[in-house]
Amino acid sequence: MTDFDHPPSHPTSPPPSTQASPPPCSDGAALSGRPVPERPGGPLPSDTRKPSDRPESARSGGAGPSPERAAVIAAFHGGLDGPSWRIAGWGSARLQRVRFDALVRTSGYRGGTVLDWGCGPGDLYFFLRSMNLPLAYAGVDIDPRMVELARSRGVPNVELLSPGRAPVGEVDYVFASGIFQFADPADPFYYLDILEHAYDISRLAAAANFLSGQRREEDRAEDELYADPAVLARFAGALTDRWVIDHGYHPAGADFTIALLKQPS
């Protein structure tokens, strides 16, 4: 394992699946959710229209993770211990910070209300606070262990959401770091719905990172998701004419960040 990899998948984890920690929120405070109907099937790579414009039969399982995905993620993180960056699933503190830098840089972050979608132990909160910008933070995760750990570290407004629920309300920025780690053969394009929902509930920007499809074969894990930046670029263009992809910050081109931007009203 290199320092830009996730720790290896927990040996007791079920076969490949994925999660996106579901979130909230309105102005960094109370979190609530609405049921997300399950939608069978998945779009082809060439079908990069935003999910809400695709036929029902070509849309993935919704913005909230299924119970099966949630169980896989909880099993993975349950096998990790040590510093918070490792519990969150990263191979080093340095590369976790590189990803956080990319999120704030591509989104044009200048302080405000933030939703940390898949907050884990809350490391992004401490990173944002260190920038000395106005911050009203809320984090959500589907893993009770992560929520408990974040709260024990003094991270504010952290809530647990049940699988199959999606956030309501609006925030200035939605950040998602590491929630697209695993591939899901049953729903291979689940991340498109998640990105659209993140964009919909943001006032200024939504940003997320991905393991890159351009990563070297010898540095890949069988159960992880390696996204194609070109597919994400076409998808971003279907949502907004203001978007950024940064594929230049990570060792060996192993990772990239996408930000979907809004013009403030």
26, part of any domain: no
- 5 found inside a domain: no
Q: Output the pLDDT for position 42.
A: 37
Using pLDDT thresholds of 50, 70 and 90, give the confidence band for residue 203: very high
Q: Which two tokens stand for residue 106?
A: 């591509």
Dihedral angle, C-alpha 76, 138, 167, 8, nearest 10 °:
-10
29-38, 79-88, 248-257: least confident range: 29-38
Pairing of strands 135-141, 158-160: parallel
Q: Within a domain: residue 69?
A: yes
Amino acid at 237: G
Instruction: Report yes or no on 60 lying in a domain.
Output: yes
3-class state of residue 137 by DSSP: strand
2 is a domain residue: no
Q: Is the pLDDT of residue 70 over 80?
A: no
| CATH assignment at residue 236 | 3.40.50.150
Domain that holds residue 105: 33-261
Do the domain assignments include residue 9? no
User: What is the pLDDT, as a whole number, of residue 163?
Assistant: 76
Asked whether the predicted pLDDT for residue 195 surpasses 50, the reply is: yes
The count of domains in the chain is: 1
12-21, 145-154, 207-216: least confidently modelled range: 12-21
Q: Which strand (E) or helix (H) includes residue 210?
A: strand 202-211
**What is the average per-residue pLDDT within 195-221?**
93
Backbone phi and psi for residue 264, each to the nearest 5 degrees, phi listed first: -55, 140
Cα 48 to chain center, whole Å?
A: 19
pLDDT (0 to 100) of residue 129: 98
**Is position 47 within any domain?**
yes
pLDDT band at residue 63, thresholds of 50, 70 and 90?
low
The average confidence (pLDDT) of the chain is: 77
Instruction: Classify residue 4: in a domain, yes or no.
Output: no
**Prediction pTM value:** 0.76
